[in-house]
Structure 1
Amino acid sequence: MTDFDEDVVVVGSGFGGSVAALRLAEKGYRVQVYEAGRRFEDEDFARTSWNLRRYLWAPMLGCFGVQRIHRLPHVMILAGAGVGGGSLNYANTLYQPGSAFFQDPQWRGIAEWEPELAPHYATAKRMLGVVERYPHTGPVERIMAAAADDLGVGSTFRHAPVGVWFGKPGERTPDPFFGGDGPERTGCTLCGNCMVGCRVGAKNTLMKNYLALAERRGVVVSPLRTVTEVRALPDGGFAVTTQRSGAWFRHARKTVTARQVVLAAGTWGTQQLLHRMKASGALPRVSDAVGRLTRTNSEALDGAVAVSVPEPLQLAHGIAITTSFHVDDRTHVENVRYGPGSNLMGALATVLVPGDRRLSARLRSLGTQILRSPVRQFRLGNLRRWSERGIIALVMQTADNSLTLSLRRRFGRLVMTSAQGHGEPNPSYLPQAHTAAAAIAARVEADGGVPAAARGSWPEVFGIPLTAHFLGGAVISASPADGVIDAYHRVWGHPGLHVVDGAAVPANPGVNPSLTITALAERALSYWPRRGEDDERPVQLAS
């Protein structure tokens, strides 16, 4: 295993990539991690979302923040960037999906997934420091509980399991999770800015667990390096080419060789690489199923925004997501918040329109509502103290819908595009989301004694849902005709290439997927042999 520059190159440092880095280092492999984003210390994160250079990811414009935004014809995607991937800007929410996820036809015949993954979920929870029940109750939590009661689903209400250190607020303490092997931590101050980046040091990002432990074991993490090519070598192994992220000139390209490669660049990044490398011939045996069963978690983001809220309501006080309930047996609703001052994402909010009508009807509805009450709509749309004046409703489902992604040429460049895929049409809006947002807004009004209104988003007006949970497209399958990877996360036809991020997830979990991605990665890496030992995984017979 000394014929290559590295034993394993890991592309990306999110939940899958971080698991791979640590577990492979523990098994004796030389591991190089490439991450397109920058490295953040706690004090490096933006103070609010208005600090665009530290919040948004647009490297060619000089913005090296944590928030990626991608656009496809059928969905707008929110994703993460930086060393630690989506853990830097996710909402710390670590639910385990219900049985329907494990019984999805795409993968149910391959293994008994629920019991097989159970110990790996347990490991993931321990590593990510899951607190099974958010320990505080404030105005938002009471509003959510009352809204669930109003909808007749109060029995489904619960406080969320979250990955946060709830020590003494603002007080620094030695590592409380790994017997002193991890970094020092600071108790959560409930500032609400988890999704902008935790400057306190309370959020259990991957830099506080998997990556910190991996680097102590010799893993090299190279930030601001974008992988542009993964090429299969004639005699085995791969050549991996990177360049400086966001460079207009002086790309500083570099190529290293590795016996094996782990793709964990997030669903968007991993799919981009697989599509492009298949098209270029660098990975010629990638399955034609790449891009199929791309999922959005059947998701919508709507807002229940109050016109004016007295300061005692403290809607921005707490962590990003704290509670949830089920509108029906497949629709899960969570409250979401940003902290005081982080009002940028409010620019996506607008009048709630009936999503089951044509675009012209939606636009007429929007215009009519604005003309009928222009002052009220102006106050609702005002970004001043937006994060303190309302509650975002995040709605996701276990529904079997999907998109199919492919490449098309636009202005001389190959770009990803989407089409409706297997199952129900991917929803452009969710009536359950409107119902939940209306119930939450009614409770804000009833409990706070102020006018309130349910709000939608601009993408939804134009029939484009907004998701923070982009999944699939390189899914687990029984054969290369049905998916891209086998049960051990090896790419069909290129068994030295592995996918261990959200792109591997074969179905809509209906809850936040981070814990599931971590558990799947833990399982996949548990089957790797120690360096130099025999590989007991079955040899791929299909290509």
Structure 2
Amino acid sequence: MNYKKSIMTQYDYVIIGSGFGGSVSALRLSEKGYKVLVIEKGKWFKSEDFPKTNWELKKWLWEPKFRLRGFFKMTFLNHVTVLSGVGVGGGSLTYANTLPIPKQNFFTTGSWATLNNWEEKLKPYYQTAYKMLGAAKNPKLHATDLTIQQIAKDIGKEGHFEATKVAVYFGEAGRKVEDPYFNGKGPNRTGCTHCGACMTGCRYNAKNTLDKNYLFLAQQLGAEILAEKEVFNVSFLISEDGSDGYKIEFKSSIGKKQLESVTAKGVIFSGGVVGTVPLLLKLKENSLPNLSDYVGKNIRTNNESLIVVTSTVKNPKDYSKGLAIGSILHSDENSHLEPVRYGEGSSFFRLLTMPLVYHKYSLFRLLGIFGLVLKKPVILLKTIFANNYAKRSTVLLFMQTLDSTLRIKLGKITKMKTEQEDGPKPKAFIPEALNFGKIFGKKVKGIPYANITDVLLGTPTTAHILGGAVMGENTSNGVIDKHCKVFGYKNMLVCDGSMISANPGVNPSLSITAIAEYAMDKIPNKES
């Protein structure tokens, strides 16, 4: 008997992570007849499980060793602070719903540039992603959006301002309806109330998170989802290229660390950059040595800046109303500005910010803050002790397509560390962003603030870390091929933000979804 041919596996595919890439993979593989298991380290969340504000840290933050079992994670690296999502549905639980298609530069740069005519090749998959995520144009601008629109007019860019396309069911505010997207196969939905709390979890069943589309439909086709489990090892069963299948070992991510394992013909890594990349680096040192030396390289941050401005006028407008991101200003061919909001009461971030002063050296930044205390003491005090902080505050998200990269390595003290790779290292201080912060500040009598780590260490904060398992022609310049298949191993793919191989310069969720759709389309139906 040929033992290799007789080996049986429990699943056809195990998917590690349930974000945009993992959810797409779960549905499309299930449709093709494969037996699928999704392993997610975070929890299942229903609408009523989400916190009312981000002060409910146990429901909002993910840091299980401190008994914080929410869905929002902050990862502090030496070059950047990373914001990400954890839970069944991954980043969709906490992202701002925004679904822009990147400009041409994204498709023609980076390690994937010569592998395909990506802009043309991905067009139908972007449309599929729009349909599956229930994309719709924001029908109503609110106070923050209107302020940005006025700024666009002031600088002669009014034609470059627009409402965002978002993954939200609008309908009639607060009214429940039967599934409006999948001919009754999906869950009931409720019309958006424009409460602004998208990023602390939609409590009104209006946000089109992945558990309401891709994952919901995949389960109907037999896909299994195992929550609160973290994969720590993947090894081949017999053949070194994995052609006979893999053993996937995991443990509880909450509570007792009971060890478990399953076997599968194929594996898809979909845990996001902060999940997939350190896992691949660990596996390369141990059970999967054929992985490319390129693992961890070409990490991008979308070159973004997050600036908070709090209004100090006596009777301010309510900047918490609307969508998390309801509009976007394309300030030039490489740059984009989006006003971001949190719902009423979500003022936890005021503890993590301090006035933003631009200078190369931290000592002079601190001296600059001291200068602000002398020059604008009243505004500073009003900002610090402002009532209704979320209603008064706007986060300005500034992003650029200008490229620079880092490398992630395993740390000896911390789980990961970063090194500068190509181009200038990511900066917390982008002059154009700070300029917009000052312009916005003048309109609302506020001062630009930034994350404490941005100001003290000069390191930026990003919600869009990308790369680390990028596409390439071979192992000398990539980890995966143009179909997201891992070099050196059979039936192994990467489908998450790690596969993004150039700087999109805009929110990447739609692109991750579209590329995952493309990759799954290349996998044949299961033979009966």
Residue in structure 2 matched with residue 259 of structure 1 by the alignment: 265
Normalised TM-score (structure 2): 0.96
Residue 398 (structure 2) pairs with residue 395 (structure 1): yes
3-state SS of 1:380 partner:
helix
In structure 1, give the amino acid aligned to 2:163. H
The runs of 5 or more residues in structure 2 that have no matched partner are 1-5
Distance in 1 of aligned mates of 2:110 and 2:411:
30
Residue in structure 2 matched with residue 468 of structure 1 by the alignment: 463
Written as runs of structure 1 = structure 2, the 5 A alignment for 1:176-325 is: 176-235=180-239, 236-247=244-255, 250-279=256-285, 281-308=286-313, 310=315, 313-325=317-329
Residue in structure 2 matched with residue 532 of structure 1 by the alignment: 527
In structure 1, give the amino acid aligned to 2:400. Q
CA contact (8 A) 1:344 1:383 kept: no
In structure 2, give the amino acid aligned to 1:177. Y
In structure 2, give the amino acid aligned to 1:143. T
The total of aligned residue pairs comes to: 518
Q: Given the superposition, is the C-alpha separation of residues 93 and 309 from structure 1 closer, same or farther in structure 2, using an over 3 Å criterion?
A: farther
CA contact (8 A) 1:343 1:384 kept: no
The runs of 5 or more residues in structure 1 that have no matched partner are 445-450, 534-543
Normalised TM-score (structure 1): 0.93
Deviation at 1:2, TM superposition (A): 7.0
Q: CA RMSD in A?
A: 1.5
3-state SS of 2:130 partner:
helix
3-state SS of 1:78 partner:
strand
Distance in 1 of aligned mates of 2:209 and 2:494:
21
Distance in 2 of aligned mates of 1:372 and 1:441:
15
In structure 2, give the amino acid aligned to 1:463. G
Written as runs of structure 1 = structure 2, the 5 A alignment for 1:87-486 is: 87-131=92-136, 133-235=137-239, 236-247=244-255, 250-279=256-285, 281-308=286-313, 310=315, 313-354=317-358, 356-382=359-385, 384-410=387-413, 415-444=415-444, 451-461=445-455, 462-486=457-481
Distance in 1 of aligned mates of 2:386 and 2:93:
24
CA contact (8 A) 1:8 1:258 kept: yes
CA contact (8 A) 2:89 2:211 kept: yes
Deviation at 1:196, TM superposition (A): 0.2
Deviation at 1:360, TM superposition (A): 1.2
Deviations 1:159-195 (A, max 9, x none): 1111100011111100000000000000001111000
3-state SS of 1:523 partner:
helix
In structure 1, give the amino acid aligned to 2:446. A
Residue 499 (structure 2) pairs with residue 504 (structure 1): yes
CA contact (8 A) 2:110 2:501 kept: no
Residue 38 (structure 2) pairs with residue 33 (structure 1): yes
Deviation at 1:105, TM superposition (A): 3.9
Residue in structure 2 matched with residue 489 of structure 1 by the alignment: 484
CA contact (8 A) 1:309 1:389 kept: no
Distance in 2 of aligned mates of 1:253 and 1:119:
42
**Larger CA deviation: 196-205 vs 375-384:** 375-384
CA contact (8 A) 1:289 1:482 kept: yes
Distance in 2 of aligned mates of 1:338 and 1:309:
21
CA contact (8 A) 1:74 1:428 kept: no
Distance in 1 of aligned mates of 2:237 and 2:367:
57
Deviation at 1:422, TM superposition (A): 1.6
3-state SS of 1:400 partner:
coil
In structure 2, give the amino acid aligned to 1:268. V
CA contact (8 A) 2:426 2:459 kept: no
CA contact (8 A) 1:29 1:531 kept: yes
Distance in 2 of aligned mates of 1:523 and 1:7:
19
Residue in structure 2 matched with residue 541 of structure 1 by the alignment: none
Q: Given the superposition, is the C-alpha separation of residues 443 and 369 from structure 1 closer, same or farther in structure 2, using an over 3 Å criterion?
A: closer
Residue in structure 1 matched with residue 3 of structure 2 by the alignment: none
Deviation at 1:153, TM superposition (A): 2.2
Deviation at 1:423, TM superposition (A): 2.7
3-state SS of 2:368 partner:
helix
